[in-house]
Amino acid sequence: MLNHVKIKTTDELEFAVFCIENIAIKLGKNAEEIYQALTEKSDILNSYIIPEYEILHTQSKDYIVDDIISLMEERGVQL
């Protein structure tokens, strides 16, 4: 069973926005497309990004972006 967690703090919200914006930049997409990919086309935002916030936010931007893009590819998220 996946761990589903809702955003509870401003820090988590800011981190989610940071992830979405930086993935969009790396992939040459707009942030809305990435948000939909992480919420509607998958549950990566609530099942991975937010639950793993404490660990992920200590990593480099490139690591975070590449890690989430790899997860999107593993789960077959289409953009």
Residue-level pLDDT at 1? 39
Q: Which pLDDT band, with edges at 50, 70 and 90, does 7 fall under?
A: confident
Distance CA 75, CA 6 (A): 20
Say which DSSP state 76 is in.
Answer: T
Q: Which pLDDT band, with edges at 50, 70 and 90, does 11 fall under?
A: very high
Residue-level pLDDT at 4? 63
Q: Which two tokens stand for residue 6?
A: 């809702």
Distance CA 15, CA 2 (A): 20
Q: Which two tokens stand for residue 18?
A: 């940071």
